[in-house]
């Protein structure tokens, strides 16, 4: 039976090797925060992390994954929605209908891990998720807000001060 490490726990399930990761997450593991939009790697609604990188799970077949790889979904990004990106999203009131937002948040959190202070060009190049409600301006503002939080936390950590949950 195939196995994957999802949100820090080993999970067993029943699926053929060509099954997209998205359907394992949603149908087998009940992790419905990850959404199905286009099914062809265009919209980003299905974005999750595999070993810290943002991937579009609708086009990632199980056979492309190793059991040792770490899959993280929106449900596992933080305890109680306290990740820096989730807090910035709350403060900026980003979501409208919300359908695209878990994919947006997963894409942004992967970006900030690599680039804690992304330029507009970095954001344009990395965050290609589609939002039918047109939240793009708020998404950009929230990315900048989250980036400030990430930078502050990294300075605090360097000073040996207590840090909040975030992108470490
Ligand atoms: S559902 Fe995967 S990119 Fe649109
Ligand atoms: S918030 Fe509705 S699709 Fe993005």
Atom of ligand 1 nearest to the CA of 42: 3
Check: CB of residue 46 under 8 Å from CB of residue 58.
yes
CA distance 158 to 161: 8
Q: Please tell me the predicted confidence (pLDDT) of residue 163.
A: 41
Domain ranges of the chain: 3-77, 84-166
Task: Write the pLDDT tens digit of every residue in 60-79.
Answer: 999 999 999 999 999 999 98
Work out the average pLDDT over 21-27: 98
**What CATH number does the domain located at 3-77 have?**
3.10.20.30
Task: Write the pLDDT tens digit of every residue in 95-143.
Answer: 999 999 999 999 999 999 999 999 999 999 999 999 999 999 999 999 9
Q: Is the CB of 136 under 6 A from ligand 2?
A: no
For residue 166, the cross-strand partners are: none
For residue 129, the ligand closest to its alpha carbon is: 1
For residue 6, the cross-strand partners are: 9, 71
Residue with tokens 């994954």: 65
CA distance 136 to 114: 21
**What CATH number does the domain located at 84-166 have?**
1.10.150.120
For residue 21, the ligand closest to its alpha carbon is: 1
| Ligand 1 pocket by Cβ (under 6 Å) | 36-39, 41-46, 56, 58
Atom of ligand 2 nearest to the CA of 98: 1
Q: Please state the φ and ψ torsions of residue 46, each to the nearest 5 degrees.
A: -95, 15
Model-level pTM?
Answer: 0.90
CA distance 146 to 109: 9
* DSSP assignment string, 49-96: EETTEEEEGGG-BGGG--TTSEEE-GGGSSSTT-SHHHHHHHHHT--S
């Amino acid at each position: 039976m195939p196995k994957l490490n999802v949100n820090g726990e080993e999970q067993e399930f029943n699926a053929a090797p060509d099954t997209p990761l998205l359907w394992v997450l949603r149908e087998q593991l009940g992790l419905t925060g990850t959404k199905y939009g286009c099914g062809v790697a265009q919209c980003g609604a299905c974005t999750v992390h595999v070993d810290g990188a943002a991937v579009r799970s609708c086009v990632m077949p199980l056979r492309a994954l190793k059991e040792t790889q770490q899959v993280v979904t929106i449900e596992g990004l933080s305890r109680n929605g306290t990740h820096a990106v989730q807090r910035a999203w709350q403060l900026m009131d980003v979501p409208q209908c919300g359908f695209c937002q878990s994919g947006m948040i997963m894409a942004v959190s992967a970006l900030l891990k690599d680039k804690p202070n992304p330029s507009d060009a970095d954001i344009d190049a990395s965050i290609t998720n589609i939002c039918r409600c047109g939240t793009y301006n708020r998404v950009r503002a929230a990315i900048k807000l989250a980036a400030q939080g990430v930078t502050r936390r990294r300075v605090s950590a360097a000073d040996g001060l207590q840090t909040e949950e975030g992108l470490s």
